[in-house]
Amino acid sequence: MKKIYFLLVTVLSIAFISCTGDSGPPGPPGPSGDQGAIFVAQSFETAPLDFLVENNFEQIVFFPDNIDIQDNDMILVYLLWTENPNDTWRLLPQPVFFDDGQFQYNYQDNFTDVSIFLDAPSTFNLNSLSSAYTLNQIFRIVVLPVDLINSANIDINNLNSVMELGKITDFEKL
């Protein structure tokens, strides 16, 4: 009985191994790797902005016509914190602390513009800020595809890292 069972299993195994059939239709092409992935970072720099009582400490910056915003793009805004000899750029929101309170530079965006504003608790008087914090503030705005950010381990707080990832070499000045 064992011999018949062994013979039957062997014959069936050989039959299954030796059977070939139609391979079927080809599947869809897979991703082509780095050569096929095109992620375009876009960027520009604002003219100096003033945050005053008259404009409610807010400025609206419209995207230039050559900036194409997609649903899955990430908008990052950086403030020029210190100048010469080395410019230092800080990602918003950027808090500023004083002995009597704090405020922060902040922003919100949509597909046509970025609203950059000063934000503070009701106990802090923005009118008391010196002109160093309210006048001639320069910002860099970067539009990055989320796929690009997801494909890399990046510190978005570091503008130089973002520029390198997005292959940004210069900022169009508005």
Note whether residue 100 is domain-resident.
Answer: yes
What is the per-residue pLDDT for 63?
Answer: 92
Note whether residue 141 is domain-resident.
Answer: yes
Neighbours of 38 (CB within 10 A): 9
Note whether residue 124 is domain-resident.
Answer: yes
Domain count for the chain: 1
Entry pTM: 0.72
Note whether residue 12 is domain-resident.
Answer: no
Is residue 111 within 8 A of residue 69, CB to CB? The reply is yes
Note whether residue 4 is domain-resident.
Answer: no
What is the per-residue pLDDT for 36?
Answer: 47
Note whether residue 1 is domain-resident.
Answer: no
Cα–Cα distance for residue pair 163/169, rounded to 1 Å: 7
Confidence of residue 147 (pLDDT cuts 50, 70, 90): confident
Give the domain range for residue 92. 41-173
User: What is the rounded average pLDDT of the residues 104-131?
Assistant: 94
Is residue 64 within 8 A of residue 143, CB to CB? The reply is no
Note whether residue 32 is domain-resident.
Answer: no
Note whether residue 33 is domain-resident.
Answer: no
